[in-house]
Amino acid sequence: MPAAATEARRAAVLGSPIAHSLSPVLHRAAYARLGLDGWTYERFDVDEAGLPAFFADLGPQWAGLSLTMPLKRAVIPLLDEISETAAAVEAVNTVVFTEDGRRVGDNTDVPGMVAALRERGIEQVDTAAVLGAGATASSALAALARICTGEVVAYVRSEARAAEMRQWGERLEVEVHTADWTDAAEALRFPLVVATTPAGTTDALAGAVPERPATLFDVLYDPWPTTLAARWSMYGGAVVGGLDLLVHQAVLQVEQMTGHAPAPLEAMRQAGEQALAARH
């Protein structure tokens, strides 16, 4: 049942560092639109060592938590249950506290990616490329498992990373092939390219964008646009950005934590865009 609008409930995002997080902006915008006047959403700088103590101090007024790095895996032993999606990628970014006191973990990054692509008309692709092999890349593979009917080629910097991506592919039942990062320009000709690398990593690839690019999903949102995304748009390709992902995963978090659905997607997106504009 949805929580009463006047009931005082707490939620927050945890991570380290956390000052940059847009989650408070997005969730508070949702609470305002939903009329949840008694709800608060904060941010706390918590590392892996401090996470158990933080959980030990949580009272019954807590509705849920958002988790970012480095806590997405560290939180799992502290939970009573995790969803199939979270178990598949060994990462929890959402914790909901149930009325009977249980701690339930989920991963909204994966369905958030799928929803962000669907919003741009990408329901299914025959093949895709992934740039990078970090934690976000495993979530990307899980999302591609739902929409990609053929192979996924991951462009990585080392054989160790390549082996990890192939292992994730086996686990997620995705046909993953790997290629060296020196050939990453080849990725830009795929019908869907998912860039999961840190800021600046793909800048050198911008000059290799084909004349008629298809769809780029770049998970970064600040700074935005990335050099690659800007060139992609200039050539007429479709671009899905990190803010799209952030908003869609936050929508699912709000719905789980508050019991109110649908969450106000456009109000949350507008709040995020305004907050990013204010930073610059």
Which residue in the list 10, 28, 72, 231 is annotated as catalytic?
A: 72
Nearest-10 Cα torsion for 230, 214, 197, 187: -120
Nearest-10 Cα torsion for 217, 219, 223, 225: 10
Q: Which of 215, 259, 266, 214 is nearest to 244 (CA)?
A: 266
Looking at this protein, which amino acid is placed at residue 277? A
User: CA torsion sign, 233 to 273 to 245 to 219?
Assistant: positive
Beta bridge pairs of residue 180: 156
Question: Are 129 and 192 in contact, with CB atoms under 8 Å apart?
Answer: yes
**72 annotated active-site:** yes
Active-site residues: which are they?
Answer: 72
